[in-house]
């Protein structure tokens, strides 16, 4: 069965082939230029923000408690800055900087062996709970 | 076969084939011929076991084969449920793994690639994850295999270990593990509402009664974010970046297994978690169709801007994946049939295109379309196969793409209302496909190369050429006989058991 859009599709294919045969270049160069320019800029813009979001998740996962404290202090500083004295604002910024420094120092680092041991322990606990509930 | 492997154990064995194969690959890492024989053997064994389940599922009128390994939480089993839809994806992945294994031998040896044992090992685990996703009986099991698939493909994306490859790997993980977080949240919320995560034909019955309309919409958004593997826009950019991986990886994993796991998940959620009726009631079909349409058009426009062949193919993949999402979003029988059928059809056509791109890289080292003038005369078999794949992408006969395009258009008519305008969007998408695939064919066959490099280019080695010829031929056979591998029969079984599909 021929659908409504099929003749249009074949017509375009025929048009494309005839255009290229006669003019020796592809039709729709303006569209390709638009795709190469503004559209790719838009794509890079979206990509930048998605990567930033992923980076934020990674950053938070390293030390969630301190990361959330930093975020809380950042928001507080932004909200209160217009209504507090410059001295107080400076104090806030110093406090924020201190937490930031602590964040990098407090990074929990585990060796591969310790990580595997932790995972095994987790499974052991799970197994024990499972067996207890079964019996 | 039944005496050899009892029916309930077949899903488990099918999934274990690549895992067992991977052990032997590591053991024989220093003896390439034996190592690669294990890859071939595991892939063939997996396909045979998967295919042996087809008559059982079709004969049982869609009744799935179930196998439970253990109960993880109350009412949540870690187990498998092999139904018609799962089998479509499993057959596609396992059959194409055989061909890509052969192709990989030619590709990796010709380019003298490093760390080949690691490559074959990770490939096995990626297939383990993909087939696990296909045969999962519930969201929990699917989540576990989904994450195995993500982690096992990272070393494949970063295989070259160049700064560019390592960046691509990090980006790949950043996107897909973030998506995994959303998916896990969606699984937990589904369990909280319904007390189960099982896939039920027609949707989980108590989902609509247990959650408010807003909660259901938010949950669906979480599921969509969880299935970023489907590369819907604007969360697509990991896919073109991941094209830095060796071509067999791009071919099987980033055109078939990984990305299809994403769209497979979306179809599962629409048809087996929410159910077509609930989707219709919430108006989510139109939302999903709009999202898919946006991706289809914009991905095609991005493809037009690419000179690198693999990147152009990546954007074409993004477009075709959204076509599958679009099909299921129609919530009509033909739309869903088209979506399910497009999973294997697109798999065969796109893998042909990627393998051709790889063959060109191996033989000539050319990656950009602008450098490929006259290459069709030097590599006629490769470029004819490429032309077949490209015609399929443009939904032109005599290829499989034409068949599914028909299903999508009929699906729009069946759905009616606003959906009846969408065939024009499909037409625009097909026209854009022509605009970026035909120049490649024209450049390869009719453009004159500027200056000769001196060395004569021949076809790729037979290990690579045979799989290309097979997938291109199958892409045409599907046009005349869509029931090859029982695909259309499985699709009909899957759709007929869904129930409540809206005409």
In this predicted structure, the answer to whether residue B52 has a pLDDT above a threshold of 80 is yes
Structure tokens at B362: 């191996």
> What phi and psi, each to the nearest 5 degrees, are found at residue B66?
-115, 145
Distance CA A133, CA B254 (A): 42
**How far A56 CA lies from chain B's nearest CA (Å)?**
10
Under the banding of pLDDT at 50, 70 and 90, the label for residue B503 is: very low
**Interstrand relation of B76-82 and B65-73 (parallel, antiparallel or unpaired):** antiparallel
Most confident listed range (B101-105, B152-156, B227-231, B324-328): B324-328
State residue B226's pLDDT score. Answer: 93
Q: What does the domain layout of chain A look like in residue ranges?
A: 1-60
Testing the interface with B: which of A46, A50, A123, A135 to mutate, by most B Cβ within 10 A?
A50
Distance CA B20, CA B96 (A): 19
Average pLDDT over residues B200-206: 89
Q: Do B434 and A13 touch (CB under 8 A)?
A: yes
Under the banding of pLDDT at 50, 70 and 90, the label for residue B211 is: confident
- Percentage of chain A with pLDDT > 90? 0
pTM of the complete model: 0.87
Beta-strand (E) ranges in B402-473? none
Question: Residue B302 is nearest to which of A3, A4, A35, comparing CB atoms?
Answer: A35
Question: Residue B235 is nearest to which of A16, A35, A50, comparing CB atoms?
Answer: A50
- With an 8 Å Cβ cutoff, is A118 touching chain B? no
State residue B434's pLDDT score. Answer: 92
State residue B442's pLDDT score. Answer: 92
3-state secondary structure B50-89: HHHCHHHHHHCCCCCEEEEEEEEECCEEEEEEECHHHHHH
Residues in chain B: 503
Contacts of B394 in chain A (CB under 8 A): 13
State residue A110's pLDDT score. Answer: 65
State residue B74's pLDDT score. Answer: 82
Question: Residue B304 is nearest to which of A3, A31, A58, comparing CB atoms?
Answer: A31
Q: Which residue has the higher pLDDT, B155 or A128?
A: B155
Report pLDDT digits (tens) over A13-67: 899 889 888 888 888 778 878 877 887 888 788 778 877 877 787 777 777 778 8
Report pLDDT digits (tens) over B223-259: 999 999 888 888 888 898 888 888 888 888 777 889 9
Testing the interface with A: which of B338, B427, B437 to mutate, by most A Cβ within 10 A?
B427
Question: Residue A43 is nearest to which of B237, B430, B439, comparing CB atoms?
Answer: B237
CB B146 within 8 Å of CB B133: yes
Testing the interface with B: which of A6, A40, A126, A132 to mutate, by most B Cβ within 10 A?
A6
Report pLDDT digits (tens) over B303-322: 988 889 999 999 999 999 99
Average pLDDT over residues A78-102: 82
Q: How confident is the prediction for chain B on average, in pLDDT? A: 89
Residue of B nearest to A130 (CA): B72
In this predicted structure, the answer to whether residue B1 has a pLDDT above a threshold of 80 is no
CA nearest neighbour of B441 among B483, B393, B482: B393
In this predicted structure, the answer to whether residue B387 has a pLDDT above a threshold of 90 is yes
Question: Residue B305 is nearest to which of A3, A16, A35, comparing CB atoms?
Answer: A35
Cα B484 to chain centroid distance, Å, stands at: 18
Distance CA B307, CA B370 (A): 7
Testing the interface with A: which of B169, B178, B297 to mutate, by most A Cβ within 10 A?
B178
- With an 8 Å Cβ cutoff, is A13 touching chain B? yes
CB B216 within 8 Å of CB B208: yes
- With an 8 Å Cβ cutoff, is B75 touching chain A? no
Alpha helices (runs of H) in B111-162, residue ranges in sequence order: 116-135, 139-157
Testing the interface with B: which of A13, A17, A119, A131 to mutate, by most B Cβ within 10 A?
A13
In this predicted structure, the answer to whether residue A105 has a pLDDT above a threshold of 60 is no
CA nearest neighbour of B271 among B33, B6, B91, B502: B502
- With an 8 Å Cβ cutoff, is A129 touching chain B? no
**What pairs with residue B78 in β-bridges?**
B70
Each as own residue / partner, the long-range contacts of residues A10-18 (CB below 8 Å, 24 or more positions apart, any chain) are A12/B431, A12/B434, A13/B394, A13/B396, A13/B434, A13/B438, A16/B434, A16/B435, A16/B438, A17/B438
> What phi and psi, each to the nearest 5 degrees, are found at residue B368?
-100, 145
Q: Do A3 and B423 touch (CB under 8 A)?
A: yes
Contacts of A8 in chain B (CB under 8 A): 427
Under the banding of pLDDT at 50, 70 and 90, the label for residue A3 is: low
- With an 8 Å Cβ cutoff, is A36 touching chain B? yes
Under the banding of pLDDT at 50, 70 and 90, the label for residue A106 is: low
What ipTM was reported for this prediction?
A: 0.77
Distance CA B232, CA B361 (A): 28
State residue A4's pLDDT score. Answer: 61
Q: Which residue has the higher pLDDT, B413 or A106?
A: B413
Average pLDDT over residues A75-82: 84
Question: Residue A5 is nearest to which of B175, B423, B439, comparing CB atoms?
Answer: B423
**How far A90 CA lies from chain B's nearest CA (Å)?**
35
CB A72 within 8 Å of CB A50: no
In this predicted structure, the answer to whether residue B453 has a pLDDT above a threshold of 70 is no
Which positions ≥6 away from B335 have C-beta within 8 Å? B326, B327, B328, B329, B407, B408, B410, B411, B412, B414, B415
Contacts of A30 in chain B (CB under 8 A): none
Structure tokens at A59: 């950053």
| DSSP tag of B273 | I
Average pLDDT over residues B130-136: 95
- With an 8 Å Cβ cutoff, is B424 touching chain A? yes
Interface of B with A in 172-201 (CB under 8 A): 174-175, 178, 181
Under the banding of pLDDT at 50, 70 and 90, the label for residue B126 is: very high
| DSSP tag of B205 | T
Contacts of A16 in chain B (CB under 8 A): 434-435, 438
State residue B337's pLDDT score. Answer: 93
Report pLDDT digits (tens) over B330-341: 999 999 999 999
| DSSP tag of B368 | B
CB B78 within 8 Å of CB B334: no
- With an 8 Å Cβ cutoff, is B339 touching chain A? no
Residue of B nearest to A46 (CA): B234
State residue B2's pLDDT score. Answer: 59
Q: What does the domain layout of chain B look like in residue ranges?
A: 7-496
Residue in this structure with the two tokens 């992923």, named with its chain if needed: A54
**How far B58 CA lies from chain A's nearest CA (Å)?**
28
CA nearest neighbour of B471 among B358, B334, B365, B322: B358
């Amino acid at each position: 069965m021929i659908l409504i859009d099929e003749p249009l599709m074949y017509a375009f294919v025929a048009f494309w082939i005839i255009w290229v045969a006669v003019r020796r270049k592809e039709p729709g160069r303006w569209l390709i230029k638009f795709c190469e320019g503004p559209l790719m800029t838009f794509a890079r813009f979206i990509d930048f923000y998605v990567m930033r979001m992923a980076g934020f998740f990674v950053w938070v996962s390293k030390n969630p408690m301190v990361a959330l404290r930093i975020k809380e202090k950042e928001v507080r500083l932004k909200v209160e800055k217009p209504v507090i004295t410059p001295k107080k604002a400076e104090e806030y910024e110093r406090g924020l900087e201190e937490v930031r420094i602590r964040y990098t120092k407090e990074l929990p680092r585990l060796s591969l062996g310790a990580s595997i041991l932790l995972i095994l322990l987790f499974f052991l606990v799970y197994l024990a709970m499972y067996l207890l509930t079964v019996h | 076969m039944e005496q050899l492997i009892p029916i309930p154990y077949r899903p488990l064995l099918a999934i274990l084939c690549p895992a067992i194969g991977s052990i032997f690959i590591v053991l024989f890492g220093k003896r390439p011929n034996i190592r690669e024989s294990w890859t071939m053997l595991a892939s063939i064994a997996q396909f045979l076991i998967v295919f042996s389940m087809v008559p059982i599922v079709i004969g049982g009128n869609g009744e799935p084969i179930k196998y439970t390994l253990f109960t993880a939480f109350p009412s949540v089993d870690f187990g498998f449920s092999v139904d018609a839809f799962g089998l479509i994806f499993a057959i596609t992945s396992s059959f194409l793994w055989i061909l890509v294994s052969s192709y990989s031998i030619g590709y990796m040896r010709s380019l003298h690639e490093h760390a080949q044992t690691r490559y074959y090992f990770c490939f096995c685990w990626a297939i383990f994850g993909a087939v696990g996703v296909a045969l999962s009986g519930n969201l929990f099991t699917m989540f576990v295999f989904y994450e195995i698939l993500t982690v096992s493909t990272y070393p494949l994306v970063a295989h070259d270990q160049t700064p560019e490859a390592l960046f691509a790997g990090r980006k790949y993980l950043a996107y897909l593990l973030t998506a995994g977080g959303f998916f896990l949240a969606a699984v937990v919320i589904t369990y909280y509402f319904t007390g189960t995560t099982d896939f039920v034909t027609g949707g989980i019955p108590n989902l609509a009664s247990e959650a408010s309309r807003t909660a259901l919409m938010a949950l669906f958004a979480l599921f969509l974010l969880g299935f970023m593997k489907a590369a819907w826009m604007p969360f697509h950019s990991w896919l073109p970046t991941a094209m830095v991986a060796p071509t067999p990886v791009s071919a099987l994993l980033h055109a078939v297994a990984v990305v299809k796991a994403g769209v497979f998940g979306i179809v599962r959620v629409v048809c087996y978690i929410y159910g077509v009726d609930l989707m219709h009631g919430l108006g989510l079909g139109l939302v999903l169709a709009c999202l898919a349409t946006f991706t289809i058009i914009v991905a095609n426009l991005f493809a037009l801007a690419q000179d690198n062949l693999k990147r152009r193919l990546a954007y074409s993949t993004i477009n075709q994946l959204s076509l599958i999402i679009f099909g299921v979003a129609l919530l009509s029988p033909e739309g869903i049939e088209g979506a399910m059928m497009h999973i294997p059809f697109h798999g065969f056509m796109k893998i042909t295109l990627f393998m051709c791109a790889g063959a060109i890289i191996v033989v000539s080292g050319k990656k950009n379309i602008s450098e490929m003038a006259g290459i069709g005369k030097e590599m006629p078999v490769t470029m004819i196969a490429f032309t077949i794949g490209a015609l399929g992408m443009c939904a032109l006969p005599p290829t499989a793409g034409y068949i599914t395009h028909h299903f999508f258009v009929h699906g729009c008519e069946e759905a009616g209302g606003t959906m009846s305008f969408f065939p024009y969007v499909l037409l625009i998408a097909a026209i854009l496909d022509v605009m970026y695939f035909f120049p490649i064919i024209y450049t390869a066959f009719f453009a004159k190369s500027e200056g000769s490099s001196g060395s004569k280019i021949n076809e790729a080695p037979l290990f690579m050429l045979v799989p290309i010829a097979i997938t291109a031929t199958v892409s045409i056979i599907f046009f005349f006989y869509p029931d090859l591998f029982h695909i259309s029969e499985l699709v009909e079984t899957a759709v007929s058991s869904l129930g409540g599909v809206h005409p």
